[in-house]
Amino acid sequence: MRHRWAGHVQRMLETRVAKKVFLESMGGKRPVGKPRARWEDNVSKDTRDLLGIRNWREQSRD
């Protein structure tokens, strides 16, 4: 389900709220260590680990 939504968002115009939220980084202070993952990062990891797809954005355009 997350991958289907990511494909829709990827094809959206940059002015759409969903696209802005998808690409937005978490603001504010963060604890020392690894940065928090964005939703987009989770989609990338899922497609790489589960489907073996490195560049899911290219796949979503097809």
Backbone φ and ψ of 30, nearest 5°: -125, 155
Could you tell me which residue, 60 or 17, shows the higher pLDDT? 17
Residue partners of 40: CB distance under 8 A and separation at least 6: 6, 22, 23
What range does the domain containing 42 cover?
1-10+38-62
Q: Is residue 45 included in any domain, yes or no?
A: yes
For residue 35, the model assigns a pLDDT of: 73
Q: Is residue 53 included in any domain, yes or no?
A: yes
Total number of domains in the chain: 1
Distance, CA of 43 to chain centre: 5
Helix residue ranges, H only, 1-61: 2-11, 17-23, 39-46, 56-61
Whether the pTM exceeds 0.75: the reply is no
Residue partners of 9: CB distance under 8 A and separation at least 6: 16, 18, 19, 22
Q: Is residue 16 included in any domain, yes or no?
A: no
For the stretch 12-55, pLDDT in tens is 888 888 888 777 766 667 677 777 778 778 888 888 887 787 77
For residue 7, the model assigns a pLDDT of: 78
Q: Is residue 31 included in any domain, yes or no?
A: no
Q: Is residue 27 included in any domain, yes or no?
A: no
Q: Is residue 17 included in any domain, yes or no?
A: no
For residue 56, the model assigns a pLDDT of: 67
